[in-house]
Amino acid sequence: MITFTSTLPDDLMRLLTQKAKELKLPKNKLIERALEIYLDQINKAQYAKSYRSAENDPDILTIAEEGMADYFKQLKD
């Protein structure tokens, strides 16, 4: 495991300390979990954005339509 040192604003540190006590967790574990959740949300947002941009791409739409046609043909067979 790698050691990471950082600074936090006083208000955020107070909130972190309070929440860690409430949850009976070490602050580093709470930060670790929060960062995992945040990074996962960023990845999901990027994934969704790529789909939104793909919906306006005529080449992607053509590929999707051809794929659906092949899929429906397989269902009939």
* Residue extents of the structural domains in the chain: 31-77
Query: The whole model's pTM is what?
Result: 0.63
pLDDT at 1 (0 to 100): 87
Query: In sequence order, which ranges of 1-77 are alpha helices (DSSP H)?
Result: 10-23, 27-54, 58-76
User: Minimal CA–CA distance to 55: which of 44, 65, 69?
Assistant: 65
pLDDT tens, position by position, 2-53:
998 999 999 999 999 999 999 999 999 999 999 999 999 999 999 888 877 7
